[in-house]
Amino acid sequence: MALIWNEMTAGRIADTLKAQWIQGDPEVRFHGIATDSRQACDGKLFWALKGERFDAHDFLDQAAAKGASGLLVQSGRILPPLKREDMVVLAVENPQQALGTLAAWWRHQIPLKVVAVTGSAGKTTTKEMIATILSLGEKTLWNEGNLNNLIGLPLTLFRLESDHRCAVLEMGMNRKGEIAALTEIADPDVGVITNVGPAHTEGLGGLAGVAAAKVELIERIRSTASVVVNGDNKPLMEAVAGFNRPVVTFGFAPGNTVRADRIKARGHEGFTFDLVYGGHTYTMTVSVPGLQNVWNALGAAAAALCLNTHPDQIAEGLRLFKGMHGRFEIHFLGNNILLVDDTYNANPLALETTLTSLEGLAAGGRRIVIGLGDMLELGDKAPHEHREAGRRVTETGAEWFLAAGRHASDMQAGAIEAGMPPDHIRAVADAAAMLETIVPLLQEGDLVFLKGSRRMGLDLVSRGLHDTFGEGEHS
Ligand code: ADP
């Protein structure tokens, strides 16, 4: 089906944004929006955004050369002489805010159900699970990769086509006010908060600050929308208690609206559990391991139930979801080594939750070997959180612990305090050193768990283990 973009004129965009008209024909129609002048801009409206490192106003010529049909710029900027007189040029006070304004307008041009997902951990996985479920029934859009901020989310909404009926939008943040702004743009029918944990505490002033920033979703969401929250997560529920509105809770504890009962681990194949809701019980299969994914599945199921999705469709979607790269991803290597690649990212909540699943995966006598990289953006809490991480590693019964980064010595100290023999710990500088150190320590049948913040690049260790040991048999 045709994009409605092609039906929208420059004049209509200018009216919607109350933009200043600088030049061009108001009847021009754009094929979409471009923000990167290095990419093809054919027939698109080039939106001049100012980032931390670049100001797109410096690349207007390049955008024009790449085929842009129009430019949206900041009012008052001196523009270079434009070689193409046919070019539409619009100006607004704040191009970034205007991007959100147009996206919010665009979202309402289509009869659509929107689910928004935020939280300290599990946003992407929960979003993908919801999208897998909903797309079994209706055409569904969801954000790709990390397009979850005040630029990525509007750009995702611009991909909506007239036959989309659902959108699942991840909302990320590292500053106060971001979730409020994203909620206003997305105008969700269902808002999900997966959890609150010590992530981004640097910018937000501790756990209470993180919780306050996440519940901006509840502050701003439409009063008729459903709010879905993790009822097992104490800091979140404390923040939710401040609101006088009904919420749907999910979790393992009795009393949650959507609850998991009789959870059975199936090793690296995931879980089965009974989903209990409204006096009914439905058997669910999650095809990915890691207990965190049962919470994510419950959050996804609760969101889908708010949209009246049939439980059979939810069960099918959860069964079909096959996990995501670098998120508790299972690899079978040569020498019967089982690698759990969780290198996509890390924060203390994610680490604590994921470590609890290792013992089950090691059943049958595998030794546990853990490689952790620094968890970033924790501010002055960092030394304490890394010592805690070391302590938690010890509790898994790990045979070897490799810690990499500036906080390696904190992790090492925590592990020693908790009783791990010092000669079973290696503190190293970075991912490359971890790879070099880990290889000679590994034995046949080991379970290797790797995790660290994205910028620590522990995926290098994962790739290095593949190169060293090769692919193995599924066992
Ligand atoms: P986000 O998008 O919030 O960063 P992801 O779904 O990408 O979350 O998962 C990133 C990591 O967070 C995973 O690799 C896993 O270690 C951890 N994680 C995922 N879901 C949860 C959860 N529900 N609770 C705690 N940790 C989780």
Find out whether 291 and 217 touch, Cβ atoms under 8 Å: no
**Using CB atoms within 10 A of its CB, is residue 125 exposed (0-12), middle (13-18) or buried (19+)?**
buried
Cα 3 to ligand 1 centroid, rounded to whole Å: 34
In angstroms, the CA 250 to CA 254 distance is 10
Q: Is the CB of 69 under 6 A from ligand 1?
A: no
Half-sphere CA count of 83, side-chain side, radius 13 A:
9
Question: Ligand 1 atom 16: the closest Cα is on which residue?
Answer: 350
Tokens of 264: 């059975």
Instruction: For CA atoms 202, 208, 210, 216, give the dihedral sign.
Output: negative
The residues, any chain, with a CB within 8 Å of residue 31's CB and separated by 6 or more, are 3, 5, 6, 42, 43, 44, 69
**Which residue shows structure tokens 């935020």?**
118
pLDDT tens per residue, range 309-349: 999 999 999 999 999 999 999 999 999 999 999 999 999 99
Nearest-CA residue for ligand 1 atom 14 is: 327
C-beta 357 within 6 A of ligand 1: no
According to the model, what pLDDT value does residue 475 have? Answer: 64
The response to whether residue 195 sits with its C-beta less than 6 Å from ligand 1 reads yes
Mean pLDDT computed over 268-287: 97
Residue position matching structure tokens 């994610």:
350
Ligand 1 touching residue 194 (CB < 6 A): yes
| pLDDT single digits (tens) 412-453 | 999 999 999 999 999 999 999 999 999 999 999 999 999 999
Contact 411, 224 (CB under 8 A): no
Q: Cα-atom radius of gyration of the chain, to the nearest Å?
A: 24
Identity (one letter) of the amino acid at 469?
Answer: F
Phi, psi of 144 (to 5 degrees): -90, 145
Q: Is 370 helix (H, G, I), strand (E, B) or coil?
A: strand
Tens of pLDDT, residues 27-60: 999 989 999 999 889 999 999 999 888 999 999 9
pLDDT at 204: 79
pLDDT at 352: 95
Q: Is the CB of 35 under 6 A from ligand 1?
A: no
Q: Is 321 in the pocket of ligand 1 (CB under 6 A)?
A: no
- Measure Cα distances from 409 to 370, 388, 424 in Å: 15, 12, 14
Cβ(353) – ligand 1 distance below 6 Å: yes
Beta carbon of 342 within 6 Å of any ligand 1 atom: yes
Buried b (16+ CB within 10 A) or exposed e, 317-332: bbeebebeebbbbbbe
Question: What are residue 471's DSSP bridge partners?
Answer: 333
Q: Out of 354, 372, 450, give the residue to mutate to test ligand 1, the one with the largest number of ligand atoms within 8 Å of its CB.
A: 354
Contact 462, 450 (CB under 8 A): yes
- For 108, the 3-state DSSP assignment is coil
Alpha carbon distance 429, 407 (integer Å) = 9
- 348 CB under 6 A from ligand 1? no
Task: Answer yes or no: is the C-beta of 340 below 6 A from any ligand 1 atom.
Answer: no
Which residues are CB-contacts of 325 (< 8 A; sequence separation ≥ 6)? 344
CA torsion sign, 401 to 406 to 410 to 416? positive
State the distance from the centre of ligand 1 to the C-alpha of 125, rounded, in angstroms: 7
Distance CA 399, CA 331 (A): 20
d(CA 293, ligand 1 centre) in Å: 8
Q: Which two tokens stand for residue 133?
A: 């479920």
Backbone angles phi, psi at 45, to 5 degrees: -95, 115
Rounded to whole angstroms, the Cα distance separating 450 from 372 reads 6
Closest CA to 363 of 403, 397, 319: 397
pLDDT digits (tens, 9 = 90+) for 147-206: 999 999 999 999 999 999 999 999 999 889 999 999 999 999 999 999 998 876 677 778
CB 456 within 8 A of CB 379: no
Best residue for ligand 1 mutational test, from 142, 146, 343, 344 (most atoms within 8 Å of Cβ): 344
| Predicted structure pTM score | 0.95
First to last CA, the chain: 45
Among protein residues, the one with the nearest Cα to ligand 1's atom 21 is: 122
State residue 1's pLDDT score: 43
Tell me the C-alpha distance between 152 and 173, whole Å. Answer: 12
Please indicate whether residue 344, judged by its CB atom, sits closer than 6 Å to ligand 1: yes
Instruction: Tell me, using a 6 A CB cutoff, whether residue 450 lines ligand 1.
Output: no
Q: Is pLDDT at 5 greater than 90 in this prediction?
A: no
**Residue 250 pLDDT greater than 50, yes or no:** yes
CA distance 340 to 29: 49
Structure token digits, residue 371: 């490689």
- C-alpha 243/C-alpha 250 separation (Å) is 17
The mean per-residue pLDDT over the stretch 9-18 comes to 95
Atom of ligand 1 nearest to the CA of 328: 14
Cβ of 453 less than 6 Å from ligand 1: no
Amino acid present at 251? G
Nearest residue (by CA) to ligand 1, atom 20, is: 122
- CA nearest neighbour of 367 among 336, 342, 389: 336
